[in-house]
Chains A and B, each alone.
Chain A
């Protein structure tokens, strides 16, 4: 049986970082991902082939791919239905080396200090299981910085912080036409716009070139390697140490335990090969907020009859996401160009700068592509989704619209959970995940208020009319790319899955290092926070490794 010091399950936003940090510290690491490994030469601009959008007829370019199966229900007292990757209610982040970072928009906000203390600030709304994080912004600040420098994030500090020790490693990308339109409008309203931080190179950095500003950023792999995804940053660095082996196309079925009940490795298969064991002294799970709890729950033994780390029945609970709103502005003049990556303008409406609890950010996006536009543009009331009037509409507004994205805080709702479907198994015979998910109403006023700010902004910028994608209160649906919280950090093992270092309670040598850790969702895209957490957890794994702390 192969033997390594550490197995990392999932080579995405978090897993790639952990593999590199551990290998640099001298551990022999096996980094596993169920998905494929891409290189820049695999990437193109074909909306019908290359995109990570549900309207790609060939399926999501970066996965999940056909063959996966889950069940979904909005509430625990409703029946669940089987869903596959083409279904909007299938819960997933991408399946490939680099994970979601391979094709994301790379928005890289730091959360504000208050985001880590929502329970202290606002109490526990009825029907929520919100808790403060067991760590503070101050704990995580050096790791945010490490992520920004190690990966390559461009930006300028926002007007309201959060406080930072060092500037961004490189300045923001050049403004596009939308920024030229939106910055003055925001200033006229007395607001303080700034360029959003992006994990995209605005300058050559550590051997990679600057962004070429093409229009295929969100949902596309970067043909220039300028998107600072983990597949082109930390994972190659991990491999360069000579201590890390990357195995793509490799699915982990369970974490095994030894005769004394101590986790000692994983069982996995590469492609259609035989199931094999890999022995390891420490296991780090970073398979996403859906697949990490699924793996833990599928790792059953007499010491963990309901799943690894699940003595208190917390694995998979408290799953949540940030909550969004989208507003389109329609203009009589051209307000866009083909200069990517897209988001070039941001507003921070959080906490002291919000008229609702918590609040969130607003940013513009994304670059214009034909099918993306025709498929997602909201229509005026009464306009059909086909025919001459609609054609006139999209022809007219392709270059004359701006879309504003709003992201509000999300808190966990009682009853939300990722667990195992009682009957359903996937094609490998592994029990499928069952997702129970509905947003908590606490987010709704934030979404509505942010949307109204976006409308004001777009009108001030000259929009003749705006249309909001309707926001439902307590929206139920599968977990999206910002999924989080299903193996949350906490000081109390009765209401959390890991301790403040990301270590599974009572299981000294198993850690979590993905969005599952996040105790609540913040007012902005979560990736940089997930990455900071991965550096944080890695630090603690290495300390435990060196100091004998893996034995508990």
Chain B
């Protein structure tokens, strides 16, 4: 997390400023002289240590989906919002968790796509049994009931995931997308960290 993006009402460390911010300022004062390599690495801006990682682009405005169709995205978004709903704090929808999931399926975790396909199909079955409306259009309580049914599907096998496996996956990815580093597409504006008052 770069300095200048301190959006969390900070719980201050005893020094009154964040550790990374202090070290960054020290780097400017001390220059980088005669320090062991480990300290030199530490005093470098945190971003520099992430050179080996994926860097997702920062996009403003409505974000296009790379993998989901609009209908799929609406469903998945609704599920994520059930898992982490808005209350006095934003929920998964505001945090953009569906974009985290979309990017993961479009990229590194394409192997999870069959679970989403089968799961959304199963969700469709359960929805049809109670309504002609698509899942995202149902009211909150109706959605909750359907997901509880989904979660209690019998566990799947190694070759065939079940509704239960699908729900467990979406839950796991919702947590990742709500609380993980925003560069992966979710945790918009560090909202997940703000909810916990976590400084990073």
Contacts and interface: CB of A to CB of B under 8 A. Distances in A.
Contacts of B192: 370
B192 to A, nearest CB: 6
B171 to A, nearest CB: 6
B101 to A, nearest CB: 11
B160 interface: no
Nearest to B84: A391
Given A57-B104, A225-B36, A395 B41 contact: no
A429 interface: no
A399 interface: yes
Contact of A47 (B19, B84, B171, B179): B179
A224 B38 contact: yes
A548 B141 CA distance: 79
Contacts of B83: 386-387
B38 A338 contact: no
A223 B109 contact: no
Interface string B8-22: 000101000001000
A338 B14 CA distance: 10
Contacts of A213: 19
Interface residues of A, number: 44
Contact of B53 (A39, A46, A394): A46
A135 interface: no
A398 interface: yes
Interface string A54-68: 010110000000000
A399 B10 CA distance: 13
A47 to B, nearest CB: 6
B154 interface: no
Nearest to B46: A44
A39 B39 CA distance: 12
Contacts of B181: 46-49
A387 B37 CA distance: 46
A71 to B, nearest CB: 14
A41 B174 CA distance: 29
A41 B41 contact: yes
Given A48-B180, A398-B196, A391 B39 contact: no
Given A207-B36, A214-B19, A385-B171, A339 B13 contact: yes
Contact of A212 (B42, B144, B200): B42
Contacts of A41: 41, 49
Nearest to A174: B14
A507 interface: no
Contacts of B173: 57
A339 B11 CA distance: 11
Contact of B176 (A48, A209, A387): A48
Contacts of A225: 36, 38
Contact of A398 (B36, B39, B184, B197): B197
The 5 lowest CB-CB distance pairs between A and B, nearest first, are A225-B38, A370-B179, A398-B196, A48-B180, A41-B41
23 contacts: A40-B38, A44-B49, A44-B53, A46-B180, A46-B181, A47-B179, A48-B180, A55-B175, A55-B176, A58-B108, A208-B36, A223-B41, A224-B42, A232-B38, A338-B13, A368-B198, A387-B82, A387-B144, A388-B87, A392-B87, A398-B196, A399-B11, A399-B197
Interface of A: 39-49, 55, 57-58, 207-209, 212-214, 223-225, 232, 337-339, 368-371, 373-375, 385-388, 391-392, 394-395, 398-399
Interface of B: 11, 13, 19, 23, 36-39, 41-42, 46, 49-50, 52-53, 82-85, 87, 89, 91, 104, 108-109, 144, 171-176, 179-181, 184, 192-193, 195-200
